Amino acid sequence: MADNDNKVVDLPDRQIVREEASLWVARLDSRENNPDVLNELQNWLNKSPTHREEFRRLSALWGEMDILDDLNYLDDSHNIAEQTTRYSNSRWLKRIGGIAALLLIAIASYLSTGPNKGLEQHATFHTNFGEVQTIALSDGSTLTLNTDTTVEVAMSGSERRLNLLKGEAHFAVAKDASRPFSVYAGHGLVRAVGTAFSVYLKKRDVEVIVSEGRVELMANPPPVSGGDSAQADASNPTLLKVIAAGDQAVMADDGLKRLEPISEIAINRKLSWRSGMLAFAGDPLSDVLEQVSRYTDVRVEITDAKIAALPVGGYFKVGELDGLLEALETTFGIRAEWVDEKHVRITQSS
């Protein structure tokens, strides 16, 4: 005891460690495994036994056997960066398909634009229920579509216009000051030059989260559908607010509805769908089920207001409704009854 009298040990907050561990698992599964990243992971794991415990536990919950295989290389006696080659080789065959797909995208982009490569692009992209898709745009930007999302893209030599018709998308924008990057959604317009942000068209509201740089929030009718989707209403957009990284805003038909700061951890949690996960931290069960239901055509009904308000925290793979229902039954003692194959009713367990 005497040796420890002058030492203060900070016990880690398990909830924060759990959130950070889930993001590390997602980063590994997204193939982000260069030496610098893996050294960063090594330092994070060495912070406490809790860090290692949560990392291994969430890796197992992830349900991907290649992740579990990769974890076998995480040995305290070796530096993770020294294992990069072995780690990478274990996935090389799996990555060939992805590389080939990117090559096809690049070839298709070149053939469609000819000598104006990077300037002209007209296309519509769509994802089905439970599908998440990342698309390389002709200007070097990256578009990631969440489940059941449709985006029209219209780029020319003078402007870059996108119309989010439904759903949610994340935009990593290539810098080009001569061609502002404009995303129309509902009666809102989000404009940037080079930054990263997400836009979620939720009924009539437009939710915007900025993870890098700054964007302009503007009020303007959406582009006219049909024909040239790049043609917006003739009225001039009205600037509502300039927001920066760490801001979350909601625009309604009549203007800016809400603006509030959001932490980096919360941003990563809200955008975890890009890595195939859904993350929650004390969200009401009704909100959790609403988000999970976006990835399936099954309707989930809650019959009790008290059940709907239950705070839920955890990490779930997109589309795995059965796993979520099982976890709810085990943790909260509630009952999930399948009325039919497209309808689940949540009730208090007797």
CATH code: domain of residue 332: 3.55.50.30
Q: Is the pLDDT of residue 141 over 70?
A: yes
Model pTM?
A: 0.64
Are residues 67 and 178 located together in one domain of the fold? no
Query: Averaging pLDDT over each range in 128-132, 322-326, 329-333, which range is the top one?
Result: 128-132
| % of the chain surpassing 70 pLDDT | 70
Kindly state whether residue 108 falls inside one of the protein's structural domains: no
Residue 106, domain member (yes or no): no
- pLDDT, residue 162, reads 96
Last residue of a domain, one of 241, 265, 289: 265
255 shares a domain with 137: yes
Residue 83 shares a structural domain with residue 152: no
Answer yes or no: do 292 and 227 share one domain: no
pLDDT at res. 200: 97
pLDDT of 230 > 60? The answer is: no
- 95 belongs to a structural domain: no
Q: Which among 58, 31, 10, 15 has a CA at the least distance from the CA of 265?
A: 15
Same domain (yes/no): 257, 122:
yes
Alpha-carbon distance of 188 to 256, in angstroms, equals 9
The last residue of a domain, from among 239, 265, 291: 265
Grouping H, G, I as helix, E, B as strand and the rest as coil, residue 244 is strand
Confidence of residue 227 (pLDDT cuts 50, 70, 90): very low
The answer on 124 and 259 residing in a single domain is: yes
Specify if 5 maps to a domain. Answer: no
Regarding whether 232 and 157 lie in a shared domain, the answer is yes
Query: What is the distance between the alpha carbons of residues 133 and 314, in angstroms, rounded to a whole number?
Result: 23
Residue 3 has pLDDT above 70, yes or no: no
> Is 63 or 56 the better-scoring residue by pLDDT?
56
Q: In this predicted model, what pLDDT tens digit does every residue of 286-312 receive, in sequence order?
A: 999 888 889 988 899 998 888 899 898
CATH number, domain of 152, equals 2.60.120.1440
The count of domains in the chain is 3
pLDDT at residue number 28: 67
Instruction: Let me know whether 74 and 179 are in one domain.
Output: no
Q: Do 154 and 233 share a domain, yes or no?
A: yes
Q: Residue 128 belongs to what domain range? A: 118-265
Give which of 313, 312, 317, 311 is closest to 272, Cα–Cα.
Answer: 317
Q: Is residue 85 part of a domain?
A: yes
Residues 125 and 227 reside in one and the same domain: yes
**Helical pair 14-29 and 49-62, crossing angle rounded to 10 deg:** 50
pLDDT tier for residue 174 given thresholds of 50, 70 and 90: very high
pLDDT at 325 over 90: no
**Average pLDDT over all residues of the chain:** 77
Residue 79 falls within a domain, yes or no?
yes
pLDDT in the model for residue 21: 76
- Has residue 44 been placed in a domain? yes
Looking at the domain assignment, is residue 1 inside a domain? no
Q: Of 216, 246, 265, which residue sits at a domain end?
A: 265
Q: Are 42 and 81 in contact (CB under 8 A)?
A: yes
Is there a single domain that holds both residue 133 and residue 261?
Answer: yes
